[in-house]
Amino acid sequence: MILEQLMNGLGQGAIYALMSIGYALIFGVVGLVTFVHGDVIMLGAFTAYYSFVLLGGNLLLAILLGFAVSGAMGFFIHRICYNRFFNSPRQISLICTIGMGMFLRNLVQVVAGTESKPIPNLFGSGSVTLAGLRITYMQLFIFAVVMALVLVLTIFLNKTRVGMSLKSVSMDKTASALVGIDTKRTTTVGNMIGCGLAGVAGVLLAMYYGTITPMMGGNIGMKAFCCAVLGGASSVGGAAVGGLLIGVCENLGIMVFSAGMRDTVSFLLLILILLVKPEGLFTRRSR
Amino acid sequence: MKRFLALILTLSMVLLCVAGCSNQSGGNDDPAGSQGSETPVTENKDPIRIGLSTPITGSQAENGVGTQAAVEIAVEEINAAGGINGRPVELVIQDSKSDPTQAAQIATMFTEDETILAEIGDFASGACMAAAPIYEEAGMVQLSPTASNPDYTLLGEYMFSIFGKTTDEGKFIADYLLKKYLKAENVAVIYVNSDWGVEAYDILSGYCEENGVNIVASETFFEGEKDFNAILTKVRQTNPDTVMLMMSYDSGAVAIKQIRQMDWDVQVAISGLAYSEQLITLAGEDCEGVYSEIGFVIDDSNPEIMEFATEFESRTGFAPNMMMTCAYDAMNMLAKAIENCGDNVTRAAIRDQLFELEGFEGLTGPKVFNEDRTITQRNFKIVTIENGAWKTLTDSDYID
């Protein structure tokens, strides 16, 4: 039973990890506060829905579209919420993103309707059994995507010019500008990539759970925030591990207490870790 | 800095407009207003204004939009037939999001508007109960199509509900669905942590204790849960022969899918709340063979029901369910009661006439109020999903 719940937890944790990678990129690396992330994930989920309905069940196409549509939304979000308030206090952008989230939710309700929509799981119910534990192909695929993304992003951030300028902008805008980095353009790119990844998370999340609604963004956005902060927001890998950790703890929490305690467990964990290690689990030094 | 502030203000105003518009659209659809020129009711008499509080947005939006459409159909029919004693009916629609706080605010808004004479309430008990004290104090009828919490109508003389109580349903599930039909011995119950869910579970477990059906596990979750794997793994340990889900169709579809994904071959039953086409759309093949109970099914042999269902579907694109049909009945009952008031149409008179209404036969069955302003529901049927459609398994004479 414990092993099964551990597996359930890892499955769910992988979803959380997927959501929090984009969040960590925007919040931790680029240094932008955002509360619209959950709704961008929702946008990705709806892109998947329309891709499956209109263009057939092509997973790769859905993922690419999810990335493109959400990435484009990232561009607008940056335009509206960050660009104008670049040198203003951070809470102004923060409030803007909250408004942007409401706007997105209502927009999708108007365009797509209010009802829940079914999404086909292209992996079917296929699974492999390892030491008596069932792991579905869907879960394996999500794990693979999470690991690939962490790897690619880590290389991108540390080895490429754009990646390094992203990091430097988050450390010091003025100094970055002084050494010739176009700070606004760099953060736009960062936000677009982060939002694009949220879109990818939305596509996979939709397939994993099977149903989507325009209102799904609020709670998952908070979860993504939790995971990113828990893992140490500035590290993409840390956010992914934070996601897995929260997934596992929640499921073990359900085993011991009840499902009603799910969110209590994850937020308690967050508070505890923030008390002990305010900079997050996987950050070596505070910035 | 000023420019930033101005921008934020502009943005928030735009957002407010968007939010406002979504509410407004309900009001603008007001059939009495738009239909005025076509209908014979143009004697320039004061309209009879009725409030409708229903979740047009939010997680219950589908039921809410359906409720709105059903009530609008009823109003158009009434107005086409000459209104109530020559007065046209006018609807005032507000979006409650099925949220108790919102429902209470709407109650204040409706009761303060003296031209509104009665209200058709939310279909969910939680929202109705939050609004009840306000309607009671103002002396305005709150007629809920389906609020089934036994405590709801006890909150005041002006509270009405027309589709039975959770106690009726709970007894049916325990005695007839689980014990007699499914021959369940060990049942795991998963229920939503809401006013309705907790109440329904308490009642069900009470009756199960009486009739010997063993509840081996009970787990609860919050509305909006998407991952039931942990709960299912937990209840599976107790080896139940039947899983009873007490939740609405959106959670139900997810839970059923995940039960099947676990390769768990177990009988699954779900409460009548989830009876809808959407359950089948969302859960697809996985919901084949799931049992449920329902006090009302769209019956092809009844021309009146089919006429309503056809009209409803042409407007909304989906078939009406029990809640929506009850909302249609609620509007017609209200109209009948107001008609009986004669010239003296006041909030209090409507309440008295509604309570004394006799011989009203709605699409969802005969409606005669008990002392506590509820209706005893005995027309339950057992249904299942077969080949992607609901199929009735027993008739209402299944109750001995």
pLDDT of residue A285: 52
A109 vs B58, residue with greater confidence: A109
Would you say residue A282 lies in a domain? no
**Is the pLDDT confidence value at B212 over 50?**
yes
**Is the pLDDT confidence value at B44 over 90?**
no
Task: Residue B15: list chain A partners with CB under 8 A.
Answer: 99, 102-103
The residue type of A153 is L
**Across A270-286, average pLDDT:** 77
Q: Length of chain B, please?
A: 400
Scanning A224-263 for CB atoms below 8 A from B yields: 250-251, 254-255, 258-260, 262-263
Q: What percent of chain B has pLDDT over 90?
A: 59
Would you say residue A149 lies in a domain? yes
Whole-number Å distance between alpha carbons of B120 and B92: 10
B223 in A contact zone (CB under 8 Å): no
Would you say residue A63 lies in a domain? yes
For residue A153, what are the CA distances in angstroms to A166, B155, B198, B213, B322?
Answer: 12, 59, 46, 55, 51
Structure tokens at A174: 């003025």
Would you say residue A45 lies in a domain? yes
Whole-number Å distance between alpha carbons of B55 and B362: 23
Identify the structural domains of chain B with CATH numbers, from first to last.
39-163+302-367 (3.40.50.2300), 166-294+380-398 (3.40.50.2300)
CB contacts < 8 Å between A and B, how many?
120
What confidence tens digit (pLDDT) does each residue in B313-358 have?
999 988 888 889 999 999 999 999 999 999 899 999 999 999 999 8
For residue B310, what are the CA distances in angstroms to B205, B294, B385?
Answer: 39, 20, 22
Scanning B233-252 for CB atoms below 8 A from A yields: 233-234, 237, 249-250
A115 in B contact zone (CB under 8 Å): yes
Task: Residue A99: list chain B partners with CB under 8 A.
Answer: 11-12, 15
Would you say residue A284 lies in a domain? no
Whole-number Å distance between alpha carbons of B273 and A211: 18
Contact, B309 vs B298, CB < 8 A? yes
**Across B292-297, average pLDDT:** 85
A219 in B contact zone (CB under 8 Å): yes
**Lowest-confidence pick of A113-117, A135-139, A174-178, B146-150:** A113-117
Please indicate whether, in this complex, the C-beta atoms of B58 and A1 are within 8 angstroms of each other. no
**Across A59-88, average pLDDT:** 92
Quick one: A50 exposed, middle or buried, by C-beta within 10 A (0-12, 13-18, 19+)? Answer: middle
Please indicate whether, in this complex, the C-beta atoms of A216 and B260 are within 8 angstroms of each other. no
CATH number assigned to the domain comprising residue A107:
1.10.3470
Whole-number Å distance between alpha carbons of B301 and A215: 39
Would you say residue A198 lies in a domain? yes
Q: Distance, in angstroms, between A262 CA and closest chain B CA?
A: 8
Scanning B275-314 for CB atoms below 8 A from A yields: 278, 281-284
A129 in B contact zone (CB under 8 Å): no
Please indicate whether, in this complex, the C-beta atoms of A4 and B233 are within 8 angstroms of each other. yes
Whole-number Å distance between alpha carbons of A230 and A274: 7
Whole-number Å distance between alpha carbons of A24 and A30: 9
Look at chain A and report how many structural domains it folds into: 1
Would you say residue A286 lies in a domain? no
Contact, B79 vs B45, CB < 8 A? no
Name B22's Cβ contacts closer than 8 Å, sequence gap at least 6.
Answer: A106, A109, A110, B56, B57, B95
Would you say residue A281 lies in a domain? no
Whole-number Å distance between alpha carbons of A47 and A111: 12
Band of the pLDDT at A139, cuts 50, 70, 90? confident
Q: Distance, in angstroms, between B12 CA and closest chain A CA?
A: 7
The residue type of B272 is G
**Is the pLDDT confidence value at B52 over 90?**
yes
**Is the pLDDT confidence value at B27 over 60?**
no
Band of the pLDDT at A3, cuts 50, 70, 90? confident
What confidence tens digit (pLDDT) does each residue in B231-282 have?
999 999 999 999 999 998 889 999 999 998 888 999 999 998 898 888 998 8
Which of A5, A6, A8 to probe by mutation at the B interface, max B CB count within 10 Å?
A: A8
Name B356's Cβ contacts closer than 8 Å, sequence gap at least 6.
Answer: B340
**Dihedral sign for Cα atoms in the order B165, B169, B175, B178:** negative
Beta A127-130 vs B360-362: how paired, if at all? Answer: unpaired
Which long-range contacts does A152-155 make (Cβ < 8 Å, 24+ apart)? A153/A21, A153/A25, A153/A236, A154/A236, A154/A237
* SS percent in chain A: helix, strand, coil, step 5: 75, 5, 20
Q: What percent of chain A has pLDDT over 90?
A: 36
Q: Which ipTM was obtained for this model?
A: 0.79
Please give the span between the terminal C-alpha atoms of chain B, in angstroms, as a whole number.
75
Residues spanned by the domain of A231: 2-276
